[in-house]
Amino acid sequence: MKNKINISLPSLKEAKLRRNVDVSTIRYIMNDKYDNLGKGKTYYIFTYGCQGNEADSEVMAGILESMGYVKSTDPMNSDLVLLNTCCIRENAEQRIWGVLGQLKGRKREHPDMLVGICGCMPQEEKATKKIIESYDVDIIFGTHNRHHLPELIFKAYESKAKVVEVLSNEGLILEDAPKIRESKHKAWVNIMFGCDEFCTYCIVPYTRGRERSRAKEDIINEVKDLVKNGYKEVTLLGQNVNAYGKDLGLDYTFGDLLYDLDKTGIERIRYTTSHPRDLDEKTMLAMRDCKSVMPHLHLPVQSGDDDILKIMNRKYTYAEYMSKINRLKELVPDISITTDIIVGFPNETEEQFQNTLKLVREVGFEGAFTFIYSPREGTPAAKMKDNVSLEEKHDRLNRLIELTNQGYLKGHQRFVGQTVEVLVDEESKNGDGMMCGYSKHLKLTHFKSNDKSLIGKIVKVKVTEAKTWFMIGDLVED
């Protein structure tokens, strides 16, 4: 096996600690030493998992391009390949092992190719051990040290050894890092990092560190800059955006941030993800008052059963969740609400699952990400004995999906005959001469046109047809 330089290995125990230390904000400065390290070389980044990872990949692309690397479209023929990984469920990891296997073969033919793995998976002790022992990977780093990327690449070239640096601390805030954004009209904007919720099934608080908010000035300036550069939409990112500001000890919350960002002139603001307990009145009022805050909310419920919610450590009940939903519907009557749901949590009974179905019907979700519970090592739920068979879990998932699919369809049907505003993304993959984008309520909308100059513009579309996964309509000339 290739030699390795262990700068640091992950520790779930360390990652769990919430030490009372100040979170540092680092302002990124490129060291001249690494300026030309990527000159004449290409890179490719595989991104898995959540929008947080997509945003992180944009930063890594920015750092790599500032070193001279050029983006490639073919991973197997790139000089540097990074896998920005997710470990939220077992199946997210399975895909990554497959790609690592393919790259292993490719590296045998091209020994100069560098392969790096980063993001959430290396934060797990077991995964990092397996990567080091069984795969031909040159650089292994986690979620807290993207800004060390030039140095890690330098070390890998220089030493020809595996370079491992996974930090299991609180994390930091990285400002001023270069970014290569995927879109020219929609942008991710991190407002906070980490999670302190410790839902018992979830690995995120261990992989992403302590909840820490960016300074409001940095966020507002980033959005103002995006407006200047022609961006139409921002999606504010955090594991629990409703906790924004709590760690700063200021009298300034997520709702205040929405009111302030509304004044920047950005046309559309979305945000994800919300926690039902922390979703407050001010945020809901901002959804009513701010023209740019879109009438869609993703509010993960996870389960509709009070006992399961308690064991999940979600800190709300069915009734409390419903009272937030009802208040939202009062303030924003046409709001579209989507959610995340886990079925087959350890020892979930049929009756408890029925409570989830009841809640889904009562809320009228217009979309849901549905998952079978997946044990994650190091989390409390992974230690619970489970008496629900996998067959039963699949059966529950299927019944749930049948119901949530009706919600998707109804969510589209309610717009038939109406004119909606669509931010145009691209040509449709579904058929010739169609373009597509998202409406204010986050409904994927296709319309007849082959005018590519519409990409990045907001157009009016009269909806003529509703399908489960999208709507179809005609462009309405102004």
Residues at the site binding ligand 5AD, with contacts judged by CB under 6 A: 88-89, 201-202, 300, 302, 340, 342, 371, 373-374, 376
Q: Is 240 in the site for ligand SF4 (CB under 6 A)?
A: yes
Q: How far is the CB of 343 from ligand 5AD (least distance, A)?
A: 9
Nearest to 7 by CA among 135, 134, 154: 154
Alpha-carbon separation of residue 294 from 49, 229, 287, 410 (angstroms): 24, 21, 7, 19
* Torsion of the alpha carbons at 173, 122, 182 and 79, rounded to the nearest 10: 120
Residue 470 interacting entry, from ligand SF4, ligand 5AD, none, C-beta within 5 to 8 Å by type? none
User: Which of 191/199 has CB closer to ligand 5AD?
Assistant: 199
Interface positions, 265-324, toward ligand SF4 (CB under 6 A): 275
Q: Is 195 in the site for ligand SF4 (CB under 6 A)?
A: yes
Instruction: Choose the binding region for ligand SF4 from 54-62, 114-122, 194-202, 416-424 (rule: CB under 6 A).
Output: 194-202
Residue 116 interacting entry, from ligand SF4, ligand 5AD, none, C-beta within 5 to 8 Å by type? none
Query: Cα separation of 279 and 184, whole Å?
Result: 30
Residue 89 interacting entry, from ligand 5AD, ligand SF4, none, C-beta within 5 to 8 Å by type? ligand 5AD
- Contacts of residue 388, defined as CB under 8 A and 6 or more positions apart, other chains included, come to 344, 346, 347, 348
Residue 195 interacting entry, from ligand 5AD, ligand SF4, none, C-beta within 5 to 8 Å by type? ligand SF4
Nearest to 213 by CA among 179, 177, 253, 181: 253
- Assigned token pair, 437: 């984008």
Q: How far is the CB of 374 from ligand 5AD (least distance, A)?
A: 4
| Residue 28 · residue 175 · CB < 8 Å | yes
Instruction: Choose the binding region for ligand SF4 from 110-118, 196-204, 400-408, 470-478 (rule: CB under 6 A).
Output: 196-204
Query: Cα separation of 155 and 5, whole Å?
Result: 9
Provide φ and ψ at 461, rounded to 5°: -130, 130
Residue 373 interacting entry, from ligand 5AD, ligand SF4, none, C-beta within 5 to 8 Å by type? ligand 5AD
Residue 371 interacting entry, from ligand SF4, ligand 5AD, none, C-beta within 5 to 8 Å by type? ligand 5AD
User: Which of 275/412 has CB closer to ligand SF4?
Assistant: 275
Nearest to 143 by CA among 94, 103, 88: 88
Tell me how many residues contact ligand SF4 (CB under 6 A).
10
Q: How far is the CB of 300 from ligand 5AD (least distance, A)?
A: 4
User: Which of 223/308 has CB closer to ligand SF4?
Assistant: 308
User: Which of 397/471 has CB closer to ligand 5AD?
Assistant: 397
Alpha-carbon separation of residue 418 from 407, 466, 477 (angstroms): 19, 11, 14
Burial tier of 267 (Cβ tally within 10 Å: 0-12, 13-18, 19+): middle
Query: Cα separation of 23 and 20, whole Å?
Result: 9
Binding site for ligand SF4 (CB under 6 A): 195, 197-199, 202, 204-205, 239-240, 275
